Amino acid sequence: MKKYIYADKFFLKSSTKGPGYLAIEDGAFGDYMSELSDEERRYEIIDYSGKWIAPGLVDTHIHGFMGHDVMDNDPEGLKIMSEALLSCGVTSFLPTTLTSSK
């Protein structure tokens, strides 16, 4: 299924563009377009007016967040960290341990 995201600004591989539309087809991002044709407007348009769209950040070294520590060995704490990191634009992370006594 094809759809489009509309936003004020898109951070693309080598430039920023906007306002405009970003195609999504079968779960994959496609081309950026400043305008849609009448045929393209038949598809679902997700409206993020006033928003900027950027790739998610990857944190490759994190010990904790939101009062939770990777070393706590607490799956619920990792879940809270995962969800809270999204608010900072982090979409994936490497939970990092440290040398510690048992």
pLDDT single digits (tens) 9-32: 999 989 999 999 999 999 899 999
Q: In terms of C-beta density within 10 A (0-12 exposed, 13-18 middle, 19 or more buried), how is residue 10 classed?
A: buried
pLDDT category, 100, cuts 50, 70, 90? confident
Q: Between residues 102 and 54, which one has the greater pLDDT?
A: 54
Sequence-distant (6+) residues with CB within 8 A of 7 are 18, 19, 20, 22, 48, 49, 51, 52, 53
Average pLDDT for residues 76-98, to the nearest whole number?
Answer: 94
How do beta strands 2-11 and 20-25 pair?
A: antiparallel
Q: Between residues 86 and 100, which one has the greater pLDDT?
A: 86
